[in-house]
Structure 1
Amino acid sequence: MILRNSLFTFAVAASFVNAGAAIPVYQDETRPLDERVEDALSRMTLQEKVNMIHAQGKFSSAGVPRLGIPDLWMSDGPHGVRAEINWNDWGYSNRTNDSITAFPALTALAATWNPDLSFAYGNALGEEALYREKDVMLGPGVNIYRTPLNGRNFEYMGEDPYLASVLVVPYIKGMQQNGVAASVKHFALNNQELWRGHIDVNLSDRALHEIYLPAFKSAVIDGDSWTIMGSYNKIRGQHACHNEMLLNKILKDDWGYKGVVVTDWGGAHDTREAALYGLDLEMGSYTNGLTSESEFTTDDYYLANPYIEMLQKGEVPMETIDDKARRMLRLNFLTAMKRDKPFGSVATDEHYAVAEQIGNEGIVLLKNAPVGKKGPKLLPLNPDVKSILVVGDNATRDLMKGGGSSELKVKDNFTPLDGLRAIYGDKVRYAQGYRAGRPMYAHVEDIPQAVQDSLRAQAVAMAKDADVVIFIGGLNKNHQQDCEAGDRQEYGLPFGQPQLIKELSAANPDLVVVLLSGNAVEMPWEKEVPAIIQGWYLGSMAGRSLANVISGKVSPSGKLPFSFPARLEDNGAHSFGAIAYPGDSIREEYLEDILVGYRWHDTKKIPAFYPFGHGLSYTDFKYGKASASAKTISGDQSLTITVPVSNTGSVEGKEVVQLYIGDESASVLRPLKELKGFEKISLKPGEEKAVTFTVKPDDLKFYDDKTGSWRAEPGKFKAYIGSSSADIRATVPFELK
């Protein structure tokens, strides 16, 4: 990328010196960006403008060679820079210089509840994109976790719009400070993979604005994301990638967005709608988005020759192409034409450290009980343990393979088994326990039952002779698990894992279950297991992070970014029959409305098995009495709430103090409480810190779909401060006048 940029700069500068002319406005980086854009736009032909707004290859769009404006290059994300794809098919180029760092999946980042780590994540990924000469990274994803069956939940930031909003902004800023554009996706309501290309989502305006849009709004207004990617599905009868309400009215008019709207690959369907309804860059048309091809060329794209014909005939206004080209030029000047970008780097110790730290803080300790009635808690694992049996396909599996567009080619893969052996040495033995099969897009490998029975019997027999058994299972990136283009078929663990866990527990009660997944799973075996860890997909440094937590080198501090329902039918989206999920193959109704995740569990009094915000530590935290600056607020006043939190245990730890607000009496349905603040603090043994939250009137508002505006009703409210949505340690009543 540096070579490309340097040669481009030298060539352009030399051409103007030789011609004895001043540098044009569009080349002069000292001039305001808008002036440069307008100058370049005025010099472009219609054909050049149209060339700029559609693909010229799988991951590239054209610049303007005549004016020295370079092409744009993109790559899939959001957890790392994808290996190089061929120019015009989906095959890998098989290069030897495109191995990278795999960062933890975004569910793991969300589980850190740490905005500083989100910034570090975006920055490190931006540096790797620079090294790989990429101008746009296709991520992060902020679609809301609506059902645990969504195959792509692992790419997103959980079920709560506030948490996702807080975390997405530093990710974008960290990445874009490198001159690499983020592409926040998938806008919007891409909450399932089944029938994703055509399912027509219908929902209330309240649910749209309160639940599904806030993270995108923060990404645009607070994060200034330079691009945003549309989703495949329809919304109220119109495809999201050219949707008049979503793109024109909300994104560009209401939010004032100046960036580029890019299709998901194959997300465009109509030239006129694409021209009129907010689409700026068309990619991957005439494919299924990841594999299939057609005989059409990029000149046949909806925003290519068919668009030129409509413009020339006056069937669509000429200002539509100027608006699209203007946005593309702005993006180009911020990325490919930016001449003072840093060099970038890939797979460095610094990036590995970022990945490891995110894993350290994202791992969630779900359960940690004594073995027997009086014994010590099983974790952290005693360093004097004599023999450890590690069981499970995920202990050695490359979890960066598969999953669809998020598949990564890593330089180093430190597996969980590697991590445990690095600490416990030859005390560690391994048994596969079950076989999951190869990761294949849109296909599932059938494993004979006799193979599974044999592997299970071997693992159970070995478990009887071990001091401790660590089972490392969960899901993976196979089709119909955590994978693009296919939702999960069951809530329980696949490949016979429930039976394996029960038999391991019977053979050895000192059992730790580590779940690597991006989704909640059913746990009928939970009572038989003393310790459970939700470990996510942790990328290149997965083994180090898991070993850090299991050994006690790091005290766990992750908190769940989504609820684990006990049964699938306890989830709101699954409570109204098939029309609410997955739909009837044509349409789908979000009948749970605003009651998504913990909002459903709280309001309907259906306790989650493991609640939103839950996560244990190896130490204990005591919350003192909360105090407020006032009992009432009005106008533009704000309320400050302070609560002391102390570490009463024997080791240093981090706690996420969470603030929820509930409206005690409203004229509309409101959740029992909603997350409105959080702070992650580090405390040494015996240390106490005061955590202060500021509550503003805006935090009390709901979306009034009758007036199309946000408003708060005067009345009584309650602030809840706790360690999870179900573990409230202090409450503060107050009134809005």
Structure 2
Amino acid sequence: MQKTIKSFIAILLAGSPVCLSAQSSVPVYLDETKPIEQRVEDALSRMTLEEKVAMCHAQSKFSSRGIPRLGIPDNWMSDGPHGIRAEVFWDEWDQAGWTNDSCTAFPALTCLAASWNPEMSALYGKSIGEEARYRNKNVLLGPGVNIYRTPLNGRNFEYMGEDPYLSSRMVIPYIQGVQSNGVAACVKHFALNNQETNRHTVNVNIDDRTLYEIYLPAFKAAVQEGKAWAIMGAYNKYKGQWCGQNQYLLNDILRGEWGFDGVVVSDWGGINNTRQAIYNGLDMEFGSWTDGLSEGTSDAYSNYYLATPFLKLLKSGEVKEEEVDKKVRNILRLVFRTTMNTKRPWGSFGTPEHGAAGRKIAEEGIVLLKNEQNLLPIDLTKAKKILVVGENAVKVMTIGGGSSSLKAKYEISPQEGIKQRIGNQAEVLFARGYAGEKSKAQDGLQVGQDLTDNRSEDELIAEACNLAKDADYVLFIGGLNKNDGQDSEGNDRSGLGLPYNQDKVIGALAKTNKNLVVINISGNAVAMPWVNEVPAIVQAWYLGSEAGHAIASILTGDVNPSGKLPFTFPVRLEDNGAHKLGDYPGKEEETYREGIFVGYRWIDKEKIKPLFSFGHGLSYTTFTYGKVTADKKEMTPEQTLSLRVKVKNTGNRKGAETVQLYIHDDKSSLPRPVKELKGFKKVFLEPGEEQEVVFTVDKKALSFFDPAKHDWIAEPGTFEAWVGASSTDIKSKITFKLNSL
């Protein structure tokens, strides 16, 4: 009887009309005491061919069909990775007009990566997973872990930086947090989605070593350590096949080498061929270019590549039923892990707790790039007049940018946050400084503000400088925004420089007032020709609902900045390997000629001085490092090496420092980077407090990918462990040897 009650609960949760008599036995697929694989096979055996095919393609913009007859619910996806997308009409991108779908907007993933704190990643995943669960989504389309190859990629703000190790360590807790809510994390975009321009046509040419060392590790960690339940294919091609229907990526690597047992979901519109979609690893097809129901058929979703064309091939015998069974097994496994798991929590949505989580993540990710003469934090005992300049101080940033656009429950602008924090202690004035193009609505979601300003550039600058003359602090808040051609899906940036002639505004303000702070809001590196004229620079990212509060906390010193850059800021585009070698952007073909030398690896190889280094970030306190020590001078491939270094807070404020471990290979059979990040630890210290940081070095940390052997190898020889505060601020080194067995 107890099993019968459980089956009724499962069916009610699934919304199925199926009835069971008190005497009937519980079907295996409804029995949660049975292993998932047994349940999958039982459910599969009860399905018709038509039902199987129906599960493999969309039935609306964001859902795919379940099996009502069996009590198996539909699958519902939601765009992430920074918040739960507002409901759209069944077959349109426009808003459905709900009044209860305004979410918490969390910081962009560049900010999360800049925290260098896996605990923040776990908090992020848990919080956004709760919001997805509350809205009854069982797949969150995120996080993104594509490598930052060029600072022009319009979608870099959705990813976790230039280093495969950092991305790998930060993605795992995010996935685990999301999936603890019974919601699948769908890691994207697999793989090589490193440009938005020509993303639907470009074929990426890349050698195996670069693929495995730089562009795959975060995905591998997501699958094997994070245990992700879903992966999204990328739009671009690799080896001449679109990534969402790619034999090499999906069958050979993802499932063959890594043992992935989740679902592969297409990006919306990423599928282009029925037979490749059947045989090359895709499970669920979404967003194909039939434009939903408007193409003149009663159900245009039936025209999808994995819909009627697939069914016809199965019925004719040209394709064996085992091919659809492979896909449905993966989809059923997803369902049993999510919507048919009666023990998954209920979730919560738009709560104060989620706002607080977003703010904490934002505060830990903001990076203090420069702070001459300790201009920051703002001294509120002396400051009587503070001038805020710049459009980004007031511009809505949660709407736009492509699929990460959000209908946020609220968004605290930087100007609002600053006024709330210090408005009762000092006069806070505002000057526009510059005017960008109008913010555009997306999918029927209106920005709700009119920033039109018809004054000339000279008039705007003159106003700002006039007010700046007698201000105690001038806070310029500019950077990029979510408009097309900036930090936005669909197109890349046209150049490294700031738009709207902001450099001219900053230059004029620097000549007017020496107490100038530039707060750059962006998901990408930008050129800073004025860097030597400005005493204090803050990198603030897109910070979501609590943006203004987080920025104000850092500027006033309520929170000591502890973020570190997850990618290099070059002085010029030519200081980036992809641009130096002339391979960006490809239209039909794009060859990654810089190979493994991406980001700081290129900077080191070419001996270039960056504008700001990978891993760089300052604090309002100071830290000293002791000498790194090792528990042994030699190790074998089966052993591990323990490294220790003491870090002390020598200032008068509590603060956090991220200690970074890089490995240098003295000699190898293949070219290697000067150093590679292989460990990091963020330590929080009270004034005068000292902690010992311990790193463990194993064979994996010393290995490189040998394409001839198609395997990772660690060659015996001499290595060095470099410990520092950034990729260019190395505090201590120690030599050790790897011996053969």
Deviation at 1:103, TM superposition (A): 0.4
CA contact (8 A) 1:367 1:530 kept: yes
Identity within the alignment, %: 55
Contact 1:404 1:441 in 2 (8 A): no
Residue 454 (structure 1) shift: 2.6
Match of 1:154 in 2: 157
Q: Say whether the 8 Å CA contact 1:16–1:23 is kept in structure 2.
A: no
Q: Could you list the per-position Cα deviations for residues 181-210 of structure 1 after superposition, in whole angstroms to 9, with x for gaps in the alignment?
A: 100000000000000011000011000000
Among 671, 674, 683, the alignment partner of 2:673 is 671
Number of the residue aligned with 1:100: 103
SS of match in other structure, 1:726:
coil
> Which residue of structure 2 aligns with residue 727 of structure 1?
729
Match of 1:498 among 484, 495, 503: 503
Contact 2:290–2:304 (CA under 8 A) maintained in structure 1: no
Q: Displaced runs of 4+ in structure 1, greater than 6 A?
A: 10-14, 445-449
Please tell me whether residue 89 in structure 1 is matched to residue 92 in structure 2. yes
Corresponding residue to 1:342 among 322, 345, 348: 345
Q: Distance in 1 between matches of 2:695 and 2:462?
A: 54
**Which one of 421, 424, 427 corresponds to residue 419 of structure 2?**
421
Q: Does 1:478 align with 2:483?
A: yes
Find the residue that maps to 1:18 and give its secondary structure: coil
Work out whether residues 16 and 22 of structure 1, in 8 Å CA contact, stay in contact via their aligned partners in 2.
Answer: no
Which of residues 700, 716, 726 in structure 2 aligns to 1:714? 716
Question: In the alignment, is residue 266 of structure 1 matched against residue 269 of structure 2?
Answer: yes
**What is aligned with 2:440?**
440
- Shift of the 13–588 alpha-carbon distance from structure 1 to 2, 3 Å rule, reads closer
Q: CA deviation at 1:460?
A: 1.7
Counterpart among 288, 295, 316 of residue 285 in structure 1: 288
Task: Summarize the Cα distance change of 1:54–1:11 in structure 2 as closer, same or farther, 3 Å threshold.
Answer: closer
Task: Report the more deviating stretch, 10-19 or 510-519.
Answer: 10-19
Unaligned runs of 5+ in 1: 371-376
Residue 561 (structure 1) aligned to one of 547, 553, 566: 566
Q: Which residue of 1 aligns with 2:377?
A: 380
Distance 1:12 1:514 in 2: 50
Match of 2:124 among 121, 126, 129: 121
* Change in CA separation of 1:253 and 1:463 when aligned onto 2, cut-off 3 Å: same
Counterpart code for 1:382: D
- The 2-side partners of 1:204 and 1:282 are apart by 29
Q: 1:287 to 1:467 in 2, by over 3 A?
A: farther
Question: What's the offset of the Cα at 1:344?
Answer: 1.2
Query: CA offsets, 1:375-418, max 9 Å, x none?
Result: xx210000120000001111111100110100011111111111
SS in 1 for 2:595: coil
1:651 is aligned, of 627, 650, 653, to 653
Query: In 1, distance between residues paired with 2:15 and 2:354?
Result: 34
8 Å CA contact retained: 2:17, 2:71:
no
Q: Deviations over 1:634-691 (max 9, x none)?
A: 1301111101110111110000000000111111110000000000001111111110
Of 467, 470, 476, 1:462 maps to: 467
After TM superposition, the structure 1 = structure 2 runs for residues 585-596 of structure 1, keeping only pairs within 5 Å, are 585-596=587-598
Q: What is the CA–CA distance in structure 1 between the aligned matches of 2:627 and 2:313, rounded to whole Å?
A: 67
Worse overlay, 525-534 or 329-338: 329-338
1:642 counterpart = 2:640: no
Q: Hey, what does 1:522 align to over in structure 2?
A: 527
Q: RMSD over aligned Cα, in angstroms?
A: 1.9
Distance 1:538 1:446, change over 3 A: closer
The C-alpha deviation readout for 1:103-151, integer Å capped at 9, x for no partner, is: 0000000000000110110000011111111111100000000000000
* CA-CA distance at 1:599 after TM superposition: 0.5
Aligned partner of 1:55 in structure 2 is 58
- 1:217-366 aligned within 5 A: 217-286=220-289, 294-295=295-296, 297-366=300-369
Give the paired residue count: 721
Larger displacement relative to structure 2 (619-628 or 342-351): 342-351
Q: For the residues of structure 2 that align with 1:301 and 1:324, how far apart are their CA atoms?
A: 15
The reply on whether 1:391 has 2:379 as its aligned counterpart is: no
Letter of the 1:222 counterpart? E
Separation in 2, partners of 1:196, 1:12: 39
User: Conserved in 2, the CA contact under 8 Å of 1:475 and 1:517?
Assistant: yes
**2: distance between equivalents of 1:287 and 1:669?**
48
State the one-letter code of the partner of 1:629: D
Q: Go from structure 1 to structure 2 and tell me whether the alpha carbon gap of 1:680 and 1:467 turns closer, same or farther (over 3 Å shift).
A: same
Residues 276, 316 of structure 1: 8 Å contact kept: no
Once residues 273 and 168 of structure 1 are traced to their aligned partners in structure 2, the CA distance between those partners, rounded to angstroms, is: 29
How many angstroms apart in 2 are the aligned matches of 1:31 and 1:694?
A: 39
Shift of 1:318: 1.9
Select between 349-358 and 432-441 the one with higher mean Cα deviation: 432-441
**Structure-2 change in CA distance of 1:629 and 1:149 (3 Å):** same
Equivalent position of 1:405 in the other structure: 403
CA change 1:735–1:319 in 2 (3 A) is: same
The residue type equivalent to 1:379 in the other structure is: L
Q: CA deviation at 1:565?
A: 0.4
| Deviations 1:491-510, CA, capped at 9 Å, x for gaps | 00001100000011111111
Distance 1:310 1:117 in 2: 48
Cα distance, 1:452 vs. partner? 3.3
TM-superposed deviation, 1:440:
3.3
**CA deviation after TM superposition for structure 1 residue 17, in Å:** 4.0
SS of the aligned residue for 2:484 comes to: coil
Change (3 A) 1:638 1:239: same
**Contact 2:11–2:18 (CA under 8 A) maintained in structure 1:** no
Please point out which of 151, 169, 172 is paired with 1:169.
172
Give yes or no for contact 1:368–1:379 (8 Å, CA) kept in 2: yes
Other-structure match for 1:603: 605
Q: What is the distance in 1 between the residues matched to 2:265 and 2:36? A: 21
Aligned partner letter, 2:101 = D
Structure 1 distance, partners of 2:121, 2:305, is: 37
Selected match of 2:135 from 111, 123, 132: 132
Runs of at least 5 residues in structure 2 that lack an aligned partner in the other structure: 1-7, 444-449
Which residue identity is paired with 2:400? Answer: G
2:3 is matched with none
Relative distance call for 1:398 and 1:635 in structure 2 (3 A) is same
1:719–1:732 CA contact under 8 A, matched in 2: yes
Offset at residue 448 of structure 1 (A): 8.8
Quote the Cα distance in structure 2 between the aligned partners of 1:526 and 1:407.
31
The SS at the match of 1:162 is helix
Q: 1:434–1:602: structure 2 CA closer, same or farther, 3 Å change rule?
A: same
Write the distance in 2 (CA, Å) between the matches of 1:432 and 1:676.
Answer: 44
* Cα contact 2:400–2:442 (8 A) shared by 1: no
- Structure 2 residue identity aligned to 1:416: P
Q: 1:392 to 1:40 in 2, by over 3 A?
A: same
Aligned to 1:513: 518
Q: Look up the equivalent residue of 2:579 and give its one-letter code.
A: H
Amino acid at match of 2:685: L
Distance 1:25 1:563 in 2: 54
